Amino acid sequence: TIAALENGRPATAADLHALLVAHLHDLKRRIARTNTDIFKGFWNLDHYARPSAPRPEEACRDHLVDLMRPSLQPLGITVEPEGHMVADKRAD
């Protein structure tokens, strides 16, 4: 609990959930307000670099993982995409 109150590692699953939700809200604001068009990483682009259609789920997931890692790594939290298993099964 002390570590969580000092902005350290989460002590419980509920702490981890709250921390991830807070980081996702911060990331949402960053994506919406930055002038480098981070949001385009989630979209297929036409030849004018305009969003044309959402990218596939796995591509978006990987982009989100890359965006979240830098802020969570200092807290000792590893962000990994789901694993691919035999027979094209997935594991979270």
Number of Cβ within 10 Å of residue 50's Cβ equals: 9
- Give residue for tokens 């997935």: 90
- pTM, two decimals, is 0.79
- Average pLDDT of span 18-24: 94
Using the predicted structure, report yes or no on whether residue 39 has a pLDDT greater than 70.
Answer: yes
> Which range of residues forms the domain containing residue 10?
2-91
Query: Side chain identity at 15, as an amino acid letter?
Result: D
- How many distinct structural domains can be found in the chain? 1
Check residue 46 and report its DSSP letter: -
In the predicted structure, residue 88 carries a pLDDT above the cut 90 = no
At residue 43's C-alpha, the angle toward residues 39 and 46, to 5°, is 115
